[in-house]
Structure 1
Amino acid sequence: MVFRVGNIDVLQKPTTPTTEPIAKYDGLKPSVTELPAGFQKTAGHRAFRAKTIFEKDIAVPLRDGATIRADVFRPADVVHKVPALVAWSPYGKSGTGFFSLDLVPGRVGVSQDRLSGFECFEGLDPAEWTARGYAIVNVDARGAFGSEGDLRWFGSAEGRDGHDAIEHLATLPWCSGKIGLVGNSWLAAAQWFIAAEQLRT
């Protein structure tokens, strides 16, 4: 498949198929689950410190009509609206995807029992942050897993998608409207392009 940017042909290639075992992807399954305090994904993972609502595969509309998917972890016992911390990446949300600390020798010193298994690669662990009164939103960028479209990176197109996602998340009934972007590497680079869109609107 080829598309053009100005007068330049840009080649496209399929990403890793979501059916591959290394993708650790079980398909698009929107659901809402209450995780009790002390919940563990497996016996070897960190437990959640606070009762948490886990909304899986929520639909996030973008301006061109595409829908991307996000997982939301939010405190269950909080009566007021909460701020959100958003991890934006193509790597897979909430423990899916090929990339994880298991790829790095010695897991860079972070043992499995220090993380819940619901964190996205290079993002925050919801088991820590829901107990601190924050929602964690793990987003699959356009073209990743259940998100529609073709993957974009490091430019204003990804910035526009992130801007639209944040504007949508701010309207959700649990959200205070205060939203921050988190993560390093790709996640951090995307933050610059997303933040720049605020200057354009």
Structure 2
Amino acid sequence: MASKAPTAPIVPINAPKPGVGGYQPLNPRTEVLPAGWNGFDSRPLPSPILVEHDVAIPMRDGKILYADVYRPPPGPDDAPAAPFNGLMSLKLMTPWNLGIPDGTLSGLEKFEAPDPADWVPEGYAIVNIDSRGSGHSEGTMVIMGTQEAEDGYDAVEDLARRPWCNATPSLKAIAPWEGCGDLYREQFGRGGIYAGDLFDNLIVRYMLNGHNGMESFKEMFKQHPLPMTGGTTRDPT
């Protein structure tokens, strides 16, 4: 009989609150932002953008992740919907705007993600997915493990089957933003010393929101400490 995989310790995280950080409750809908739209007093859109809010993407284990999709409208007869009330997350997460001059971006961009105003006019679709456990996406939030890899695969395959997508094969190329070979040993437990305090006290406490908690690196390190260079271990508490 196969042994059951160990369960990672879970810690609670803040639930998203309407109006905080630009968050809006789950509300699947579609609208078209016309050319010239400038809802954030930033950069006007050079062409119309169709926005699908809270698109459900099923995973292999039955969990549902939700995404916002920005893509070219299918035709000129689409009328603009109600005023856009999405999230301008770059400015909300970084009030100093990372040094980017005002008016450079449209305000539709998400943190560390492309600006739809640049890519949609070229025929591309931008899909911003709330990862497992974040926002209203189901499941428990995980940290860069095999679960996120499987979710990414399932999301790509689902999107490739959408009628507006011409992806053959489903994934043609990737542009990695950042990565490492072993996150546990190279960042959070480097040299046998727990080094996740910035992640725990800033990102987890103030930036991550969801309903079902998330994996705890600190608790995992307590259960599975790494030897220090001298052969000993150090308690992260």
Q: Residue 57 of structure 1 corresponds to which residue in structure 2?
A: 54
C-alpha separation between the residues in 2 aligned to 1:29 and 1:72? 14
User: Which aligned pairs between 1:32-47 and structure 2 lie closer than 5 A?
Assistant: 32-42=30-40, 44-47=41-44
User: Which aligned pairs between 1:167-186 and structure 2 lie closer than 5 A?
Assistant: 167-177=157-167, 179=171, 181=174, 184=177
Q: Residue 95 of structure 1 corresponds to which residue in structure 2?
A: 87
Task: Report the structure, 1 or 2, having the larger strand content.
Answer: 1
Q: Residue 118 of structure 1 corresponds to which residue in structure 2?
A: 108
Displacement after TM superposition at 1:100 (Å): 2.9
Displacement after TM superposition at 1:16 (Å): 2.5
C-alpha separation between the residues in 2 aligned to 1:116 and 1:183? 23
> Residues 31 and 102 of structure 1: is their aligned pair in 2 closer, same or farther, counting only changes over 3 Å?
closer
Q: Residue 27 of structure 2 corresponds to which residue in structure 1?
A: 29
Q: Deviations over 1:50-93 (max 9, x none)?
A: 111111111100000000001111112579xxxxxxxxxxxxxx
User: Which aligned pairs between 1:131-146 and structure 2 lie closer than 5 A?
Assistant: 131-146=121-136
C-alpha separation between the residues in 2 aligned to 1:126 and 1:49? 10
Is 1:11–2:1 an aligned residue pair? no
Give the letter for the 1:72 counterpart: V
Per the alignment, in what secondary structure is the counterpart of residue 58 of structure 1?
strand
C-alpha separation between the residues in 2 aligned to 1:67 and 1:160? 13
Give the letter for the 1:13 counterpart: V
Tell me if structure 2 keeps the 8 A contact 1:36–1:52: yes
C-alpha separation between the residues in 1 aligned to 2:138 and 2:95? 34
C-alpha separation between the residues in 1 aligned to 2:95 and 2:26? 31
Aligned Cα RMSD in Å? Answer: 2.7
Displacement after TM superposition at 1:19 (Å): 1.2
Tell me if structure 1 keeps the 8 A contact 2:58–2:155: yes
Displacement after TM superposition at 1:112 (Å): 3.5
Give the letter for the 1:173 counterpart: P
Displacement after TM superposition at 1:124 (Å): 0.5
Calculate the TM-score normalised by the size of structure 2.
0.62
Displacement after TM superposition at 1:128 (Å): 1.2
C-alpha separation between the residues in 1 aligned to 2:95 and 2:22? 20
Is 1:67–2:68 an aligned residue pair? no
Q: Residue 161 of structure 1 corresponds to which residue in structure 2?
A: 151
Calculate the TM-score normalised by the size of structure 1.
0.72
What is the identity percentage for the equivalent residue pairs of Structure 1 and Structure 2?
A: 35
Displacement after TM superposition at 1:106 (Å): 3.9
Give the letter for the 2:150 counterpart: R
C-alpha separation between the residues in 1 aligned to 2:60 and 2:44? 38
Displacement after TM superposition at 1:181 (Å): 4.9
Q: Deviations over 1:113-145 (max 9, x none)?
A: 222222111100111111111111111101110
Displacement after TM superposition at 1:101 (Å): 4.4
